[in-house]
Amino acid sequence: MVASNSCWQNAYQNLFAGCSEILAGEEKRSRLAWHLSDCFQKDSGRPPLPHCDAKSSMLKCLTKLDEDARKIYLETDAFKRQTERLVNELKNSAQFAEDKLETIEEKVEGLLQNSHLIHDSLASIDVQTQQVAKLTQNVEVQVNLVLRNTEAVYEQSKGIAASQSELQEKQATMTDKLEESMAKLHESSNKVGEKISNLKNQAIEIEEEISKVGNAMSSKMNTLQQRADDIGNMVGISLEKQKQVLDGKSLAFEGLQSLTKFQLHALEENR
């Protein structure tokens, strides 16, 4: 066992006294490796490391080491780095465990709350189970009724199946007749098509005849129009002469009226 005032105890006291500071700075980590190497030198019977002032940089102190002391220092530095890695892993593991404990605590609280809910749910399920038992009895009665109705429907379905078979036979017969009728209709449509073609040809011939008759009638209408114009002119002349005759008669009538008035006036004077 290492004595209480040994070199090793002093080195580890320095480590744990300022662990966070040592791990945070490369200079302090190197100085820790220096102290550990010095202890190893002393315990192994080798001469201690040269004095390294606390105010001096470790780079300056390292230049004072011989080859063997430098190897021991480098091995100690590797050990120190591994220790640092283990400390970091322990720290991360502790933080992870703390987070897990908090999560477990929250889940335990949730489970306690859920246990109350489960208890209430079980009580509700018990009530619902009793209700389901009553409903099951009612359902059994309904099922028996449905079974009886199903038997009746089955009997009716057999009758329907027989009717469907008969209907299919009639449909087959109707299909044959329909195909025969369609064949006759197709033949008739062909004949009608031929007749329509003949009618089209006849219509073309009739249209040509109508065109000829129309041309002849147009010529005759022109002749009649000329004659009508001549007759109109003659009628106009006759009307003019009749107007002159009427004008003469009107003048004669006016003269007769004047004469009549004169005679009446003369008679009144004679009285």
What is the per-residue pLDDT across 136-145, written as a single tens digit (0 to 9) for each? 777 777 777 7
CA separation for the pair 38, 8 (Å, rounded): 9
What is the per-residue pLDDT across 199-220, written as a single tens digit (0 to 9) for each? 888 888 888 888 888 888 888 8
Indicate if the pLDDT at residue 223 is higher than 80.
yes
Contacts of 49 (CB under 8 A, 6+ apart): 34, 37, 38, 41, 64, 65, 69, 73
CA separation for the pair 212, 40 (Å, rounded): 144
Contact criterion met (CB below 8 Å) for 48 and 41: yes
Instruction: Determine what percent of the chain is predicted with pLDDT higher than 90.
Output: 0
pLDDT confidence of 25, banded at 50, 70, 90? low
- Longest CA–CA span in the chain (Å) reads 206
CA separation for the pair 216, 57 (Å, rounded): 140
Contact criterion met (CB below 8 Å) for 41 and 77: no
3-state secondary structure the chain: CCCCCCHHHHHHHHHHHCHHHHHHCHHHHHHHHHHHHHHHHHHCCCCCCCCCCCCCCHHHHHCCCCHHHHHHHHHHHHHHHHHHHHHHHHHHHHHHHHHHHHHHHHHHHHHHHHHHHHHHHHHHHHHHHHHHHHHHHHHHHHHHHHHHHHHHHHHHHHHHHHHHHHHHHHHHHHHHHHHHHHHHHHHHHHHHHHHHHHHHHHHHHHHHHHHHHHHHHHHHHHHHHHHHHHHHHHHHHHHHHHHHHHHHHHHHHHHHHHHHHHHHHHHHHHC
pLDDT confidence of 15, banded at 50, 70, 90? low
What is the per-residue pLDDT across 54-113, written as a single tens digit (0 to 9) for each? 788 877 887 878 777 777 777 776 666 666 665 666 667 767 777 888 888 888 788 888
Indicate if the pLDDT at residue 40 is higher than 70.
yes
Q: What is the pTM of this model?
A: 0.28
C-alpha distances out from residue 128 to 3, 51, 79, 236, Å: 76, 87, 69, 119
